[in-house]
């Protein structure tokens, strides 16, 4: 994976963490015993049984569990592991979701705003003027 898409042979810490989380979560979801070679065993199984759809069905079911967005993203990382180990899975995982659309009136936003704490209100007001105070905002922890 490190040699793909011009990343000069490095993986970001974020990619490493999300891939590790996804693998652990998927293995736990399938009920397999978590060892330091479980994913390697799955890749080897797929290489030896290229027509088997067991892993694909499990990964598709895993990606459809709630929360769908994080599960689908993790499943896409797992797809990459199989693909880069020359055991590609024949399944598509959708990671591009339609944005939620809901009509919110000004009254709804004012009602939500009225139920926030004073600190939350100040943070919203501060964020409104962030572009004007970018230099100061970047220094605030």
Q: Do the domain assignments include residue 8?
A: no
Q: How many domains does the chain have?
A: 2
Q: What is the mean pLDDT of residues 131-140?
A: 70
Task: List the domain range (segments joined by +) for residue 25.
Answer: 13-84
Predicted local confidence at residue 127, as pLDDT = 79
pLDDT band at 101 (very low <50, low <70, confident <90, very high): confident
Q: Do the domain assignments include residue 37?
A: yes
Q: Which of 33-37, 61-65, 109-113, 132-136 has the lowest mean pLDDT?
A: 132-136
Q: Which long-range contacts (CB under 8 A, 24 or more apart) does 73-80 make?
A: 73/18, 73/22, 74/18, 74/21, 74/22, 74/25, 74/26, 75/22, 75/26, 77/15, 77/18, 77/19, 77/22, 77/23, 78/19, 78/22, 78/23, 78/26, 80/1, 80/19
Residue with the larger pLDDT of the pair 122 and 136: 122
pLDDT band at 29 (very low <50, low <70, confident <90, very high): very high
Q: Do the domain assignments include residue 1?
A: no
Q: What is the mean pLDDT of residues 14-32?
A: 91
């Amino acid at each position: 994976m490190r040699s793909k898409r011009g990343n000069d042979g490095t993986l970001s810490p974020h990619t490493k963490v999300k891939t590790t989380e996804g693998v652990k979560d998927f293995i736990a979801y399938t009920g397999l015993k978590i060892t330091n070679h479980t994913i390697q065993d799955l890749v080897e199984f797929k290489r030896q049984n290229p027509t088997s759809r067991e892993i694909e069905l499990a990964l598709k079911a895993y990606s459809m569990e709630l929360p769908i967005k994080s599960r689908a993203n993790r499943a896409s990382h797992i797809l990459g592991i199989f693909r880069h180990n020359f055991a590609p899975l024949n399944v598509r995982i959708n990671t591009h979701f339609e944005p939620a659309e809901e009509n919110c009136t000004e009254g709804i936003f004012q009602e939500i705003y009225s139920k926030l704490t004073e600190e939350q209100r100040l943070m919203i007001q501060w964020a409104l003027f962030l572009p004007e105070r970018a230099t100061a905002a970047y220094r605030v922890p």
